[in-house]
Each structure stands twice: as C-alpha cells, then as structure tokens.
Amino acid sequence: MVIVPAAPESPPGPRPWWETRWFVAAMILLSAVPLLYPPIPPLVDMMGHMARYRVELDLGQSPELQRYFGYNWAVIGNLGVDLLVWPLGKLLGLELATKLIVISIPVMTVAGFLWVAREVHHRLPPTVAFALPFAYGHHFLFGFVNYALAMALAFLAFGLWLRLGRLGKFRLRALLFVPISIIVWVAHAFGWGMLGLLCFSAEAVRQHDGGRTWWKAGLGAAAQALVLALPLLLMLAWRENSGGFTGDWFDWKTKWMWVKSALRDRWYVYDLASVAILGAVFLFALIHPRLTISRMLSFTALVLLAAFVLLPRIIFGSAYADMRLMPFLLAVAVLGIRFKSETVLPLARVLAVLAVGFMLMRTATVTTSLGMAANDHRAKLQALQHVPRGAPVATFVGARCGWRWALPRNDHLGGMVVVRRNGFSNNQWFMQGGNLLEINHPAAGRFAFDPSQRIRPRQCENRENWSIDRSLVQLPREAFDYLWLVDPPPFDPALLGDAQKVWEGGNSSLYRLGSGRAR
C-alpha cells in the first residue's frame, strides 16, 4: 500500500525558529508558569478532590477521619490523580504532591499537542502556539483533573500512534496500545474514549490516503483501533452495579455556551474574545490561498464535533460530559492549520509571532487570575487555625443570583478542613460508582454532601441551592461543631442563634456552634 503523506516533508537547511527544539522546550516550560505561585492549585473542584486524597492517604491511621469516611479501593475509570497521589503524597506531603501532579497536566498536554502537530505536518506549523492555551481550558480550570490528566496522556499516546503508523510499525503499535489504553482508561474513561476517536479518525484518513475507499478505510481503521477495546470489559465490570443518571440531551443553548466557554476563566469579554480570535485564525486559514487544514486533523475534528453534538450533559452521574470535549475539539482544529505546499516565510513569521503572542497573553492572564484566587484562598484559610483537629465544619459559600462568568473558585474551599484538620466538610460529591470515597455522617442529612455548601440570597434560591436563611435554619447543629461562612450574601444575624464568632477575615467568618468543642 502506498502511503501519501499528509504534508510535505520539511525541506533541508536551517529550520525556522518555531520548528526548533528550544521553541518546543520554551512552550512546554511556559505552560507550567500559571501554577508556580499558588501553593494549592486554585481550580474550582481541586480542594474537594484534595479532601478525598487526604482520606485515601491517612484513613488507616486517623480515628478522626474514620468517624466520617470510608475508602474502598476498586478498579474504576476515574483514578488518575488519585493513584499518583498515593506514592507522592506519602513522600512529599499531600499539598506539594498535588501541586506537582497538577502542574504536570498542562505540561504534558502542551507536549502532546506539539507532538501531534509534528507528526501530522512533519514539521511544526507557525500557527501551532495558537492551540496551546487550551491546556488551560474550561475543563482544567474547573478542576476536572482526572479527566485533564487522561486527555494529556491521550494526546501523548495519539502522537505515538501517528508516529508508529507513519513508520509502518503496526505490530509494535498494537502491542503497545493494549496497556496504553488501559492506563488512559484508569486515569479517566472519557480520556480513553477520546483516544479511541483520535486514533480511529486518523487511521481512517491514513488508509484512505493509501488508496482505499472511505468505506474500506473506515472498516480498516476500526480493525486497527480494536487494540484499544480491552477497557470495555473493565467498563462493564465497573458499571454493572453502579449506574448513575445519564441525560440532558441536545440542549443546543447550553452546547453553544460550551463553545463560548472553551477558555472561560474570569473576564467574560476577554475570554470570549480569545475564542473569537482563534475562530478568526481558523477562518483565515480556510480562505487564504497559501494555507489549508490537514485532512487528517479536519476529519478528526469533525468526528469530535459529532461526538460533542451527540453527547448528553450528564453521563453515569458525571456532569459536563459534552463541555469537557469542546476545548480539545477546537485545539485539534487549530492544530490542523498548515501551508498547502512550501512555507511562505514572510507570512509564516507573522503568523508565528502572533501565535506566540497569543500564547503569552493567555499565559499572563491565567497566571494573574490564579494568583488572585490563591491570595483570596490564603486569606480565608487562616480560619482553619481556629478549628480543632477532627472537628466537623459546615461550610456555606455564597453564590450570586443568576449566572456569572467568573469561575466559583471558593465552592470547595471547605475541603481544606479535611486536608489540614482531618475534620468533616460538607462539600464532597455523592457519585454512585464515580469515586471511591464513602461518606458516613448520617446526622448531617442533606448537609453531608455537595451542593449543600452553596448558598444564595433568599430571593433566588432553588431546589438545589438553598438560600442562606433556609440553610441556617435547617442546618442540623448537633452534626457540626463549626460553621464557616465564605463570601456570604446578606442574612439575618439572628439566624445564627447562640453561635459564637471565633475568627473573621478575607470576607469570611468562623463560628463555633452550641455543640462545638472549644479549641
């Protein structure tokens, strides 16, 4: 079979600066910068995850944790960071281990993007840096760290899949990708699904370029991708006794919001303009006579688009299933941009400078945003110095009426009660079969789980998010020693009853309840 390359080979002679190794190294190192300053990655869900890691690490020797939690190890498709924390947390401590693992995720994602671009185009196109900010996309800043880790591994694996296919080493590829598929699935099942879509679509184009019809190429690609299928057996065993809700299909308004939110962070106009810039770059490549889109990656992007359209918002109780896909769909589309034939250096230099400028701009603003969140967390976490070890704390985090763009980075701040004080926090997720944590605090009732920590002004409460007044009235005080109000909306102080304020700062207050133990 004759294989037609997706792009012309790189010409002899000195490489332009965006194709050099130092450029690759600089982009990879730059991706770590936003997370260097914060002592704890200030991602929305991160501190809730860290509470689970604390139970995972210390449950066996902590009577305080044993009062409220259990942890049942099992093979599930959602264990990425949980597994890495186990050895590193014991060696370095939980907080440093978590920080290092989370920093590695955008680093590996950027490395994966660059490798895929190099394999598809046989060189790095000057526009490649436009795609790199998606390593800090909505999915990552929201704190879906197991998913983000799986996606980073999936893109690295996809680069390897493309390379071995280009070299004709199909037997070696088949042998390697059986364990690789299991590793990616264990990190997060959605990442494994993404890897399957990437490999299938790229293989279909490769075989079509080799002279097969699309029908035969699709069948051949499916046969090649079967080496990734072993996790299906693990999936069936995982979900046999743990279903979880699946639903919310074809909500077009919400899906359009996910497109606009692909780089969502803090500033609405800026984040939206960033996505619009990338859309303009893609359209420019479509209409410019010297530029084109790789058929391999354009077909891959179409496959991902079909998956985005067909996916519901919730799968097996895991929310935002379709949202998580959008940053990578857009990244693949942008990674596909290249010159049709020979590189036109004057145009290429302009595109490369603009692409790197965009990467630097997004890195600077994400760094600033995470630094602001880290400073806010540092001020609020002073409260924990006044919480006795093992104390159960009800944390109420204020949410505004309506919807806001800035990510709610304090939503799971209460998880640090578990991390630093081995106490109980009411912000853990109840997900049937979704994670390994077991919550045993029946006296707390509804206030044992997420989203009981989220409170609203009285005029806009709903079934899921109660008002602060209702939460204060309904809170079972015998189940908690302390109440921690974080950015609370206005409320009637009389509803606090005999609660005693023991600390205030950072727009938050800590109260000892009537049943609470003095420090």
In this prediction, residues 499-510 reach a mean pLDDT of: 94
Question: Count of residues for the chain?
Answer: 519
Q: Is the pLDDT assigned to residue 476 strictly greater than 90?
A: yes
Residue 515 CA to residue 499 CA, distance in Å, equals: 9
Give 237's pLDDT tier (boundaries 50, 70, 90). Answer: confident
Average pLDDT in the chain: 90
Range of weakest confidence among 65-69, 133-137, 342-346, 373-377: 342-346
Q: What is the pLDDT of residue 464?
A: 79
Q: Is the pLDDT assigned to residue 519 strictly greater than 60?
A: no
Q: What is the pLDDT of residue 248?
A: 67
Q: What is the pLDDT of residue 321?
A: 80
Q: What is the pLDDT of residue 232?
A: 86
Q: What is the pLDDT of residue 15?
A: 85
Q: What is the pLDDT of residue 241?
A: 53
In this prediction, residues 472-477 reach a mean pLDDT of: 93
In this prediction, residues 66-93 reach a mean pLDDT of: 93
Give 316's pLDDT tier (boundaries 50, 70, 90). Answer: low
359 lies in some domain? no
The number of domains in the chain is 1
Any idea which residue has 């006795």 for tokens? 388
Q: Rounded to an integer, what is the distance from CA 55 to the centroid of its chain?
A: 22
53 lies in some domain? no
Give 192's pLDDT tier (boundaries 50, 70, 90). Answer: very high
Give 503's pLDDT tier (boundaries 50, 70, 90). Answer: very high
In this prediction, residues 176-186 reach a mean pLDDT of: 95
147 lies in some domain? yes
Range of weakest confidence among 59-73, 145-159, 298-312, 406-420: 298-312
Q: Is the pLDDT assigned to residue 12 strictly greater than 90?
A: no
Q: What is the pLDDT of residue 239?
A: 60
Enclosing domain of residue 264: 74-239+250-343
Q: pLDDT digit string (tens) for 361-403? A: 999 999 999 999 999 999 999 999 999 999 999 999 998 887 8
Q: pLDDT digit string (tens) for 422-455? A: 999 999 987 766 678 999 999 999 999 989 999 9
Q: Which residue has the higher pLDDT, 223 or 247?
A: 223
In this prediction, residues 119-127 reach a mean pLDDT of: 94
Nearest Cα residue to 65 out of 419, 346, 310: 419
* Omega of the bond leading into 451 within 30 degrees of 0 (cis): yes
Q: Is the pLDDT assigned to residue 7 strictly greater than 70?
A: no
Cα Rg for the chain, rounded, in angstroms?
24
In this prediction, residues 177-186 reach a mean pLDDT of: 95
Q: In the 3-class helix/strand/coil scheme, how is 149-191 assigned residue by residue?
A: HHHHHHHHHHHHHHHHHHCCCHHHHHHHHHHHHHHHHHHCHHH
User: Do strands 508-512 and 392-398 pair parallel, antiparallel, or not at all (unpaired)?
Assistant: unpaired
24 lies in some domain? no
152 lies in some domain? yes
Q: pLDDT digit string (tens) for 196-229? A: 999 999 899 888 888 888 888 889 889 888 999 8
**Percent of the chain at pLDDT exceeding 70:** 93
Q: Is the pLDDT assigned to residue 318 strictly greater than 70?
A: no
> 374-406 burial, b for 16+ CB within 10 Å, e for fewer?
bebbeebbebbeebbebbbbbbbbbbeeeeeee
99 lies in some domain? yes
178 lies in some domain? yes
Q: What is the pLDDT of residue 77?
A: 86
CB 481 within 8 A of CB 515: yes
435 lies in some domain? no
Burial (0-12, 13-18, 19+ Cβ within 10 Å), 60: exposed
In this prediction, residues 187-194 reach a mean pLDDT of: 92
